[in-house]
Amino acid sequence: MSVPPNIQVPAYRPRRSVLYMPAANERALEKAKGIPADALILDLEDAVAPDAKDAARERACAKVTDRVYGGREVTIRVNALDTRWHADDLRAAAAAGPDAVVVPKISCAQDVHAVEKSLEAAGAPDHTRIWAMVETPVAMLHAEEIARASQRLGVLVMGTNDLANELHAEHVRGRAPLLPGLGLCLLAARAAGVAILDGVFNDIRDLDGFEAECLQGRQLGFDGKTLIHPGQVEPCNRVFAPTEAQVEESRNIVMVWEEALASGRGVATVNGRMIENLHVDNARRILAVSEAITALDRETAARTADR
């Protein structure tokens, strides 16, 4: 479905499904070429044992340099600022030039500034953004300053497992213990104009529970969700994409609004509902999202067919 040519829409990059892949596992990194996730996080942190860190770093940077994943967003998750691997991770990532560096345990604006300074000192290209993982009570309370800390910062990533652990909270359906923190970070992201990704769902066998959490995340306002298993990609992509009905309604809203403006009317109605600028802006956003998803899905399908 195409966006009508007279509609000006902002650039949008799909991040419905963002899949963690262990950079120490060459087979997993190769398999990722055929997995239709919108974005990948090549992980040097939790999924990599201490004695495998150096090899994983080299492997992840080589995949980025060789551009083996097509037009998808490809990021590298480095080790946290207070670890002995962090500085080497950032230098290597800066040289490879991924779409972003994902940094765990960001607690304040100063952490973002430190990452930015290190990336720039290492010659990171302008397109390499910072994705800040917010996963502690301190980070929740500093979410807005983190989101506004740097022009390089493009995404907040929820670390819900660590947050639950530090809250001494239970993992329950509906995530009631986490909702205050999730809400604070969503408010911060939207106020700062950056994207925000929901945290992972741990039980890879519970697809019904996973889909319910995807739906909750979409309803709350998240742009997408981080994933730990390829089997979670399809339902996540489906839930976080606009439905055909939403796209059709959005196209109708924009069309009626444009016709009203062209005829000198400042008011329009669709299905008996008064339409205002905010409805039109949201309709254009939905159309932009749909267009970008369609383009990425076509590219992913073509790449998979060539394998």
Which region holds residue 221: left if phi is over 0, alpha if psi is between -120 and 50, else beta?
A: left
pLDDT in tens, 34-80: 999 999 999 999 999 999 999 999 999 999 999 999 889 999 999 99
Buried/exposed 163-194: b ≥16 CB within 10 Å, e otherwise: bbebeeeeeeeebeebeebbebbbebbeebeb
- 153: amino acid identity, one letter: L
The domain locations on the chain are 17-240, 244-306
Closest to 300 measured CA to CA, from 8, 4, 16, 77: 16
Coil, strand, or helix at residue 16?
coil
Please state, in angstroms and rounded to a whole number, the distance separating the CA atoms of residues 52 and 72. 26
- Please state which of the four CATH numbers 3.40.50.10190, 3.20.20.60, 2.170.190.11, 3.90.1200.10 is assigned to the domain occupying 17-240: 3.20.20.60
Q: Tokens 């506004």 sit at which residue? A: 148
Indicate the average pLDDT of the chain: 92
Please state, in angstroms and rounded to a whole number, the distance separating the CA atoms of residues 290 and 268. 24
Residue 301's pLDDT band (cuts 50, 70, 90): confident
pLDDT in tens, 220-273: 999 999 999 999 999 999 999 998 988 888 898 998 888 888 888 877 888 888
Coil, strand, or helix at residue 197?
strand
pLDDT in tens, 120-165: 999 999 999 999 999 999 999 999 999 999 999 999 999 999 999 9
Please state, in angstroms and rounded to a whole number, the distance separating the CA atoms of residues 128 and 137. 27
- 161: amino acid identity, one letter: N
- What's the gap between Cα 116 and its chain centre? 19
* Residue 99, C-beta contacts closer than 8 angstroms, at least 6 positions apart: 39, 73, 74, 75, 127, 128, 129
pLDDT at 7 over 50: no
| pLDDT value of residue 274 | 85
Q: Which residues is 41 bridged to in the sheet?
A: 20, 75
- Please give the sequence-ordered ranges of beta strands (E in DSSP) within 202-267, or none if there are none: 224-227
| pLDDT value of residue 307 | 58
